[in-house]
Amino acid sequence: MGKIKAMTQEWMDAYKAAIEADPEYKEIAKNWEGSVALIVNPDPDKGVPEPVYLFMDYWHGDVGEFVVCDKAKAESAKFVMTGDYARWKQVALKELDSTKALLQGKLKMKGDLPYVVRNIKVVNKVIDILGRVDTLWPDEA
């Protein structure tokens, strides 16, 4: 299988499948409750002409809906994280730590930050898993 275009439904499906296939995820995430939305700000120069809204539902080690969605659905998530495309790509490639990005204001979050910090192993695990998805980024296409 070739690279999958980032921020597409096919990519979200591959990401969900990778999480479900990870032997450690279920145990690490057994106490996580809540959906997460990522909002990617537009960056036409990097191949992202419009905002992108991604919704992921996590519940006690299970993964539910993983979809590219509209703004209203994204904003309904328990945790809503917003940032520029370049920042999201840096996080996905592990060039930028997500916690540091939040604390430095490079990413913004609506939701319970102390809850996220207490569950940082879950956050780091899903980012690690994302790194396994063979991704074609918009600015590389």
> What pLDDT was estimated at residue 139?
94
Q: What φ, ψ does residue 46 adopt, rounded to 5°?
A: -110, 10
3 state DSSP class of 61: coil
Q: Which pTM value belongs to this model?
A: 0.94
> What pLDDT was estimated at residue 103?
86
The number of residues in the chain equals 141
Model pLDDT for residues 89-115, shown as the tens digit of each residue: 999 999 999 888 988 999 999 999 899
> What pLDDT was estimated at residue 43?
96
Model pLDDT for residues 1-44, shown as the tens digit of each residue: 589 999 999 999 999 999 999 999 999 999 999 999 999 999 99
25: part of which helix (H) or strand (E)? helix 25-28
**Region label for 35, one of left (φ > 0), alpha (ψ between -120 and 50) or beta (otherwise):** beta
Instruction: Taking residues 122-136, report their average pLDDT.
Output: 94
> Any idea which fold 4-132 has?
Nonspecific Lipid-transfer Protein; Chain A (3.30.1050)
Residue 90, amino acid: Q
CB 17 within 8 A of CB 132: no
Instruction: Taking residues 42-59, report their average pLDDT.
Output: 96
What number of other Cβ atoms are within 10 A of residue 33's Cβ? 11
> What pLDDT was estimated at residue 132?
92
> What pLDDT was estimated at residue 1?
59
How crowded is the C-beta side of 15, counted as CA atoms within 13 Å?
27
> What pLDDT was estimated at residue 2?
83
Confidence tier at 117 by pLDDT (50, 70, 90): confident
